[in-house]
């Protein structure tokens, strides 16, 4: 991302900042690696029907979208943003324990909805602390973020093995353990004081927008969120499609894992990529690959073909995510870092939620042709980002090279 200089990293940076921040990503993504694929299995064990399961999963998504920006604003005004993590992890742990005493639909819906609210700010606040490290001391974002993705893969594979041995009963104990880890990592998350404007690292472009109301930043975040929402069809129906093609459970698990593994590689290489390419280039390239990905997806490519196509996730998610994080750094002051992350998570969650709801109707109506609709959605998001890029003043556009955040 930003060339890290020893003098910058050593001046005022908390000890082991990169390691401690990486661990702060690991705990919540361990929980996600269990809850996202396997919590529906636990719900099915309660004999909930498909409609009830869908509603229980959807409610926290909506609650999360509404709560995250509000908590993020409070975090920006706190003496230590990391304190939010302790409250978030602790309250989420209590909701996970409460699920042991809930087996009826409405109590489960209520408790899981509350968990969506308490857990919502955890990752955005960690993200804001990591980006403060990028701003102040030139740390590489990808080298911290990558470990969360690695733990997500490990926890998903671990959860798959546990499901095979004990079924859905393993979900709650592992989730409880995961939330205990979120509390422990909250204690070691770097304390870097309140957000501030000074001590910008060398080669980091000064913020171009005076606030989150910057039209360029808002349109860029919305455009990227629209592009990311095109993944909803993949997340919802890819496994069903691959199963119909005759792929085994192991092959389907490999296809999901290789997508995240490809994402991990981009985060490992993010420093090199960011030195060579601007943030805009990363977003444009990733969004263009997203359009191509959904155009190719309905074609029966065989296991090897889909293995290769899943590697596109390194472009369609990781490149775009790295690019938008750099745009946020270059557009707002550090005093608005957590608020900016909260706004981005709001747009991302809102459009992904809407597209997830729409994907069921589209798939029932168009079957595999619905992926062409996702290609159009990704193209529309790309168009919004191109429009936002053209809002940049001409002099800044000319001067923004690969080494800056522009």
CA–CA dist 173, 154 (Å, integer): 17
Planar angle of CA 168, 174, 179, nearest 5 degrees: 135
CA atoms within a 13 Å half-sphere pointing along the CA-CB vector of 97: 9
Q: What pLDDT, on a 0 to 100 scale, did the predictor assign at position 387?
A: 96
Residue 216 Cα distances to 137, 223, 230, 341, 390, angstroms: 26, 10, 22, 16, 9
The alpha-helical segments, DSSP class H, found in 46-104 are 50-76, 82-98
**Looking at the domain that runs over 1-194, which CATH code has it been given?**
1.20.1250.20
Burial code (b: 16+ CB inside 10 Å, e: under 16) for 139-150 equals: bbbbbbbbbbbb
Q: Does 205-393 match 1-194 at the fold level?
A: yes
User: Mind giving me the DSSP string for 340-372?
Assistant: HHHHHHHHHHHHHHHHHHHHHHHHHHHGGGHHH
pLDDT tens-digit profile, the chain (406 residues) = 333 444 344 457 889 999 999 999 999 999 988 887 778 778 878 988 766 777 787 788 778 888 877 887 777 777 888 899 999 999 999 999 999 999 899 999 999 999 999 998 899 889 889 988 887 888 888 789 888 888 988 888 888 778 778 878 888 999 999 999 999 999 999 998 766 544 444 344 444 444 566 788 999 999 999 999 999 888 877 877 887 898 876 677 778 888 888 988 888 888 888 889 999 999 999 999 999 999 999 999 999 999 999 999 999 999 999 999 888 877 777 667 667 877 888 898 889 878 877 877 788 789 899 999 999 999 999 999 999 999 865 544 433 444 444 4
Q: What pLDDT, on a 0 to 100 scale, did the predictor assign at position 206?
A: 45
Q: What pLDDT, on a 0 to 100 scale, did the predictor assign at position 398?
A: 35
Sign, Cα dihedral of 375, 142, 273, 207: positive
End-to-end CA distance of the chain: 11
Q: Which residues contact 107 (CB under 8 A, 6 or more apart)?
A: none
Q: What is the dihedral of CA 97, 103, 109, 114, to 10 degrees?
A: -10
Number of H helices, E strands in the chain: 19, 0
Q: What pLDDT, on a 0 to 100 scale, did the predictor assign at position 16?
A: 92
Element (H, E) at 247: none
Cβ 309 vs Cβ 32: under 8 Å? no
Q: What pLDDT, on a 0 to 100 scale, did the predictor assign at position 279?
A: 93
**Shortest CA distance to 134 belongs to which of 346, 398, 332?**
332
**Shortest CA distance to 404 belongs to which of 321, 335, 327, 320?**
327
Question: Which residue ranges make up each domain of the chain?
Answer: 1-194, 205-393
Q: What pLDDT, on a 0 to 100 scale, did the predictor assign at position 204?
A: 42
Length of the chain: 406
Q: Which CATH class is domain 205-393?
A: mainly alpha
Q: What pLDDT, on a 0 to 100 scale, did the predictor assign at position 300?
A: 94
């Amino acid at each position: 991302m930003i060339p890290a200089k020893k003098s910058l990293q050593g001046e005022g940076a908390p000890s082991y900042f990169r390691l401690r921040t990486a661990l702060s990503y690991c705990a919540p993504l361990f929980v996600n690696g269990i809850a996202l694929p396997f919590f529906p299995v636990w719900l099915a064990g309660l004999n909930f029907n498909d409609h009830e399961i869908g509603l229980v999963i959807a409610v926290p998504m909506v609650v999360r979208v509404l709560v995250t920006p509000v908590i993020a604003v409070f975090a920006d005004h706190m003496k230590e943003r990391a304190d939010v993590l302790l409250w978030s992890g602790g309250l989420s742990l209590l909701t996970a324990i409460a699920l042991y005493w809930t087996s009826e639909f409405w109590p489960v819906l209520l408790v899981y909805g509350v968990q969506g609210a308490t857990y919502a700010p955890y990752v955005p606040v960690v993200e804001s602390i990591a980006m403060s490290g990028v701003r102040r001391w030139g740390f590489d974002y990808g080298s911290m973020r990558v470990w969360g993705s690695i733990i997500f893969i490990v926890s998903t594979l671990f959860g798959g093995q546990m499901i095979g041995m004990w079924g859905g009963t393993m979900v709650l104990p592992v989730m409880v353990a995961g939330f205990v880890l979120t509390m422990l990592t909250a204690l070691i998350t770097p304390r870097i004081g309140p957000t501030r404007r000074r001590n910008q690292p060398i080669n980091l472009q000064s913020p171009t927008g005076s606030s989150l109301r910057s039209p360029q930043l808002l349109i860029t975040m919305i455009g990227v969120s629209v592009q990311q929402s095109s993944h909803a069809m993949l997340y919802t129906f890819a496994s069903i499609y691959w199963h119909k093609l005759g792929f085994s459970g192991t092959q389907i698990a490999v296809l999901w894992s290789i997508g995240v593994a490809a994402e991990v590689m981009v985060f490992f290489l993010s420093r090199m990529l960011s030195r060579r390419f601007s943030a805009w280039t990363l977003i444009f390239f990733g969004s263009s690959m997203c359009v191509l990905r959904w155009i190719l997806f309905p074609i029966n490519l065989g296991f090897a073909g889909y293995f290769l196509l899943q590697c596109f996730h390194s472009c369609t998610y990781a490149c775009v995510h790295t690019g938008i994080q750099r745009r946020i750094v270059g557009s707002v002051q550090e005093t608005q870092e957590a608020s900016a992350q909260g706004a981005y998570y709001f747009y991302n969650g809102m459009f992904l939620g809407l597209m997830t709801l729409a994907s069921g109707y589209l798939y029932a109506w168009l079957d595999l042709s619905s992926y062409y609709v996702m290609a159009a959605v990704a193209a529309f998001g790309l168009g919004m980002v191109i429009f936002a890029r053209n809002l940049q003043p001409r002099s800044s556009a000319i001067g923004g090279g690969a080494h800056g955040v522009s």
